[in-house]
A and B are shown apart, each in its own frame.
Chain A
Amino acid sequence: MRRQNWTPGWIDLDTPNAARMYDYYLGGSHNFAADRETARKAIALWPELPMIMRANRAFLRRSVHYLAGEGITRFLDIGSGIPTLGPVHEVAREVHPEARVVYVDRDPVAVAHSRLLIEDDPQSQVVEADLTDPGDLLSQPEVQELLRPGDPVGVLLVAVLHFVTDAQDPHKIVAVLRDALPPGSALVLCHAALEGRPDQAGPHQEIYSRTATPLTMRTQEQITAFFDGFELVEPGVVWLPQWRPDSQRSVGSHPERMTGLVGVGRRP
């Protein structure tokens, strides 16, 4: 049952949107003129962005694959956007054909698109909810069903927490989610870090400040603190390509240029 919204918002396709810009970086066409225009500006300033996004996607794949290999069959992908390139259910099902995934996003267009994608998949669901209101997010029936006591759940916060401002207290949000997870559950995190490309952090955040989803890059210390209450899986919090790479070659000589710090933690 959807919430009764007393003052519904309007669908605005003229304001750039992070989910559709992300799709553009990845070479997709699930985007509109405003998204492309802003994404192009971002790329002009920082040509490595498409590669960073692919590295991000690769981490998502590796981490889900790893967790599936560890026996996790339920996943909660928060800030799933437009998951065309290697969506979680596809990756997980390479290991567990019965894997269940709930996708969560606050953008109604992304949600509608995800619904189209998984229309015929009874094991996947899409929920429109906002990470900044974790209480509401957790109260969604699909999420409650997924988090019911028993099997551990893999919660993915991949490239989404940096869209939560400090005023919205992201550490508190993660703590609320953590406390709702069954034992053995895992947190998968990817977050834009200030230390990777200090020269790019300022202008890049400036570009996103004009979108509906302003960006807050954080320090390694702040990012590591998201794992409070979790036990970090080897190799801990590292640069994007460094986390359990497919091959040493794919790490490259400058993993910090991928700017994302990532990690996987398990709830004891």
Chain B
Amino acid sequence: MTAAPVTARGSAADFHEAWEELLHGQGMAMHPRTLRRIAASTSGLLHRARDETPFDPALAEEAAAVLVNAQFTDPQLLAEAVELLQTQLVPDERGPDICQPALAGAFAAGWAAALRDRTLRDQESIRVAADSARREAEQALHASEARFRALFENAAIGIGVGDVEGNILAANRALLEMFGARLEDLQGRKVNDLVHPEDSPDVWGAYDELIGGRRECFQCDKPYYRGDGEVVWTHLTVSLIRDEDGSPCYQVAMLEDITDRYRLQERLRHQATHDPLTGLPNRAAFFEHLEELFDKAGPHTRFGLCYVDLDGFKVVNDSLGHDSGDQLLVEVAARLKAALTPMGHLVARLGGDEFVVLLEDSGGEHEAVAVARTVLTALDDPVLIGGHRLAVGASIGVLERPVATTTPDAAVRAADLTLYRAKEAGRGRWTLFDAQSNARAVSRYTVSVRMPVALERGEFFIDYQPLRSLADGSLVAVEALVRWRHPLLGVLGPDEFIATAEDTGLILPLGRWVLEQACAQAAGWVHRFGSAAPQLNVNITAHQARNRGLVIDVDRVLQATGLDPALLQLEITESTAVGPQDESLGVLQELVELGLSLSVDDFGTGWSNLAYLRDLPVSALKLSGSFVGDLNESEQPTEAECVGWRIVSGMVSLAHTLGLTLTAEGVETEAAADRLRMLGCDWGQGWHFGRPVQPDQIDRLIAAAHIV
């Protein structure tokens, strides 16, 4: 047995090497030195276990525990270790059949026990860690919950929470105070219970969409009834809260008390929409109402307007003072309101002494007329003011139409224009809207609004109408006639816009433009045709004639164009020249001094004192077309026609007596021309001699005469 220790030692080295190799696979995470230390200590323990007598499992168990604690926990390692123990550790004299299984078994048991301990320890520690993390999370959650709770409770804004069935679940203090309610009063109630008649129409639609998950939030101003029955106005924001799957689960409402702001707004709105004197809705409110009516109207809805203007109100104001005028207006307003409001009609004051009555859903013209009659009746009785009994009359423009045929603005304008027809027709009456007369008035209106722009945009142009000598038919003059190519109304003649230009003062720039254009044109004819060029006639209005700037303008234009002043004749109307004291006389005088001539246009229509002809520096008369146009060339002239021709004959004598050239306007037929020639009339103008045409056609006329 001497060899035994040698064998044992030799096999011990082999075992140690195999053992270290076995550990190496799993031990790579360790420093090689550490691994070697563990391998050495465990293989040493196992050797001692083999040699221990009697066999003690403790050493094998300890070796197993060292490994497990060094995280050699792979079951595969155990299998390999047991195999190695059984094959490599050579048995001693106690015999292999007993020892090796005992050693391997002890090692395996020790491994299992150590692994069990370790697993329990690991599990314990990770469990403790998880609990600790969970506790911290809970604390954080509690803290966060407490913060949110405090935020909810103490927020200055009212906050309420409900479920998507509409049950109110929670409300904070600010909300309870706002509603003057206790939590118990609200809990269990439905959000839908909180309706108010003044809710804006969209609120509940938006609410349904929200709880149905079709919108995320909405905002509006909404009134609520407080517990004490008062109303609180709120600015409301409602948001939808969804759960993790995105299904709607809560609604959160935030409410801000805006009652004070709302009341102030209402007061300001009332001030803005009501006439402070009479308390009636004002112009703005009336239009708002009317526009709303138009917005809501169906295709066949009719409406009516009575545009009321007091007759002679200015007299009351001027003679009795504004206080009395105001009292009168207050009384009128009260009477109209008393008479018409019960019928469901809106009465508004548009300004001054103008009132309007609006009939919604009118049944026809007769209803509007009935309202007009009611207005007049209401004002029948005199008004007692400061001891005066004042008879109040009114004129009324009545308009009754389907909504679809007009617009709010057009309707009010039409009613206003109709009112003026009522005034013109004599006061104290109503007049019904008439489409034709309205169209005329409207075009006047359209014209004045558009005209300033029209001049800038070059919408005006000039036609020229020939004046011919009745004696030989030669072209002696052309009259410049301004035209307006209106973008909507088409080409307008001077009759349709000169009066408006005169009223608005636009006649001055327009007149200047006409002079410049026409004189340049006439100068061009002189340049091209010499003495065959016709005289140029240009109309000037009363407004122009009163303006001293005209002289400067004419002078400047003559200078600029080089037109011989003798070829320029300015036509004035009788009304322009009325009265020697008129300042226009001086202007006319100065014009003549420039070397041009003047004629009186439309002569014979003014019923004026012929004496003015004595003072005026005129050199021609243009007999109004109404004289000639009325004279038919019938075989058997009527008595009236004979008188007419005698008047013309008298005019000729008058003109020639004064040394004036007489032009007959409105000459439409050959016969009329012949008759006028026989009567000794000098020149003629009218369709018979040529219509107003573009300058290039005048070119042709001149050229033709030249050849002849």
The CA-CA distance from A11 to B123 in the complex, in Å, is 17
Residue-wise interface mask of A (30-58) relative to B, using a CB-CB cutoff of 8 A (1 in contact, 0 not): 11100000000000000000110011011
The CA-CA distance from A31 to B136 in the complex, in Å, is 19
The CA-CA distance from A54 to B137 in the complex, in Å, is 32
Contacts of A84 in B (CB 8 A): 71, 122
The CA-CA distance from A5 to B125 in the complex, in Å, is 26
Interface flag for A9 (CB, 8 Å)? yes
A sample of 15 inter-chain contacts (CB < 8 A) reads A9-B137, A11-B137, A27-B26, A27-B71, A27-B73, A29-B123, A30-B122, A30-B126, A50-B74, A58-B28, A86-B29, A94-B31, A113-B129, A115-B132, A116-B128
Contacts of A57 in B (CB 8 A): 29
The CA-CA distance from A39 to B660 in the complex, in Å, is 126
Interface flag for B374 (CB, 8 Å)? no
Interface flag for A109 (CB, 8 Å)? yes
Flag if A20 contacts B29 (CB, 8 Å): no
Interface flag for B147 (CB, 8 Å)? yes
Residue-wise interface mask of A (53-96) relative to B, using a CB-CB cutoff of 8 A (1 in contact, 0 not): 01101100100010000000000000000101110000100100
B33 CB, min distance to chain A CBs, angstroms: 9
Contacts of B122 in A (CB 8 A): 28-30, 84
Flag if B73 contacts A61 (CB, 8 Å): no
Interface flag for B140 (CB, 8 Å)? yes
Flag if A108 contacts B137 (CB, 8 Å): yes
Which A-chain residue is minimally distant from B123 (CB atoms)?
A29
B155 CB, min distance to chain A CBs, angstroms: 16
Contacts of A248 in B (CB 8 A): none
Interface flag for B512 (CB, 8 Å)? no
CB within 8 Å for A28 and B71 given contacts A54-B26, A112-B129, A113-B126: yes
Flag if A5 contacts B126 (CB, 8 Å): no
Flag if B126 contacts A65 (CB, 8 Å): no
CB within 8 Å for A112 and B136 given contacts A5-B144, A8-B141, A85-B71: yes
The CA-CA distance from A111 to B30 in the complex, in Å, is 24
A31 in complex: contacting residue of B29, B126, B144, CB < 8 Å: B126
Interface flag for B543 (CB, 8 Å)? no
Which A-chain residue is minimally distant from B132 (CB atoms)?
A112
Interface flag for B269 (CB, 8 Å)? no
B28 in complex: contacting residue of A5, A54, A65, CB < 8 Å: A54
Which B residues from 13 to 37 make CB contacts under 8 A with A? 26, 28-32
Flag if A109 contacts B130 (CB, 8 Å): yes
Interface flag for A180 (CB, 8 Å)? no
Flag if B126 contacts A109 (CB, 8 Å): yes
Interface flag for B669 (CB, 8 Å)? no
The CA-CA distance from A4 to B71 in the complex, in Å, is 38
Interface flag for B133 (CB, 8 Å)? yes
Contacts of A4 in B (CB 8 A): 143
Contacts of B72 in A (CB 8 A): 27
The CA-CA distance from A110 to B29 in the complex, in Å, is 21
Flag if B130 contacts A54 (CB, 8 Å): no
The CA-CA distance from A115 to B28 in the complex, in Å, is 26
A122 CB, min distance to chain B CBs, angstroms: 20
Contacts of B119 in A (CB 8 A): 29
- What are the 6 A-B residue pairs with the smallest beta carbon separation, nearest first? A29-B122, A113-B129, A8-B140, A57-B29, A108-B133, A27-B73
Interface flag for B267 (CB, 8 Å)? no
Contacts of B30 in A (CB 8 A): 58, 61, 86
Contacts of A20 in B (CB 8 A): 126
A130 CB, min distance to chain B CBs, angstroms: 15
Interface flag for A26 (CB, 8 Å)? yes
Which B-chain residue is minimally distant from A252 (CB atoms)?
B28
Q: Which of A8, A116, A247 has the most CB of B within 10 A?
A: A8
A-B contact number at CB 8 A: 95
CB within 8 Å for A109 and B133 given contacts A28-B122, A30-B125, A50-B74: yes
Which B residues from 590 to 630 make CB contacts under 8 A with A? none
Q: Apart from A5-B144, A109-B130, what are 11 other A-B pairs with CB-CB below 8 Å? A: A10-B141, A11-B137, A50-B74, A51-B28, A54-B29, A58-B29, A85-B71, A86-B29, A86-B30, A108-B137, A112-B128
Which A-chain residue is minimally distant from B27 (CB atoms)?
A54
Contacts of A115 in B (CB 8 A): 129, 132
B31 CB, min distance to chain A CBs, angstroms: 6
Interface flag for B118 (CB, 8 Å)? yes
Interface flag for A250 (CB, 8 Å)? yes
Flag if A109 contacts B140 (CB, 8 Å): no
Q: Which of B72, B132, B144 has the most CB of A within 10 A?
A: B132
Which A-chain residue is minimally distant from B70 (CB atoms)?
A85
Interface flag for B373 (CB, 8 Å)? no
The CA-CA distance from A7 to B147 in the complex, in Å, is 10
Interface flag for B134 (CB, 8 Å)? yes
The CA-CA distance from A91 to B141 in the complex, in Å, is 38
The CA-CA distance from A108 to B131 in the complex, in Å, is 10
Contacts of A9 in B (CB 8 A): 137
Flag if B28 contacts A8 (CB, 8 Å): no
The CA-CA distance from A82 to B32 in the complex, in Å, is 23
B131 CB, min distance to chain A CBs, angstroms: 8
The CA-CA distance from A7 to B144 in the complex, in Å, is 7
Which B residues from 98 to 154 make CB contacts under 8 A with A? 118-119, 121-123, 125-126, 128-130, 132-134, 136-137, 140-141, 143-144, 147
CB within 8 Å for A11 and B133 given contacts A29-B118, A30-B122: yes
Flag if B126 contacts A61 (CB, 8 Å): no
Contacts of B74 in A (CB 8 A): 27, 50
The CA-CA distance from A6 to B143 in the complex, in Å, is 8
Which B residues from 24 to 79 make CB contacts under 8 A with A? 26, 28-32, 71-74
Contacts of A176 in B (CB 8 A): none
B129 in complex: contacting residue of A5, A28, A116, CB < 8 Å: A116
The CA-CA distance from A6 to B148 in the complex, in Å, is 9
Contacts of B125 in A (CB 8 A): 30, 113, 116
Contacts of B141 in A (CB 8 A): 8, 10
Flag if A109 contacts B129 (CB, 8 Å): yes
The CA-CA distance from A57 to B129 in the complex, in Å, is 22
Interface flag for A246 (CB, 8 Å)? yes
A251 CB, min distance to chain B CBs, angstroms: 11
Flag if B29 contacts A32 (CB, 8 Å): no
Which A-chain residue is minimally distant from B126 (CB atoms)?
A30
A263 CB, min distance to chain B CBs, angstroms: 19
B128 CB, min distance to chain A CBs, angstroms: 6
Q: Which of B31, B126, B147 has the most CB of A within 10 A?
A: B126
The CA-CA distance from A82 to B72 in the complex, in Å, is 17
A265 CB, min distance to chain B CBs, angstroms: 23
Residue-wise interface mask of A (1-27) relative to B, using a CB-CB cutoff of 8 A (1 in contact, 0 not): 000111111110100000010000011
Residue-wise interface mask of B (503-518) relative to A, using a CB-CB cutoff of 8 A (1 in contact, 0 not): 0000000000000000
Contacts of A247 in B (CB 8 A): 32
Flag if A65 contacts B31 (CB, 8 Å): yes
Which A-chain residue is minimally distant from B141 (CB atoms)?
A8
Flag if A5 contacts B140 (CB, 8 Å): yes
A4 CB, min distance to chain B CBs, angstroms: 8
Flag if A8 contacts B133 (CB, 8 Å): no
B38 CB, min distance to chain A CBs, angstroms: 13
The CA-CA distance from A54 to B77 in the complex, in Å, is 15
Which B-chain residue is minimally distant from A107 (CB atoms)?
B133
Which A-chain residue is minimally distant from B120 (CB atoms)?
A29
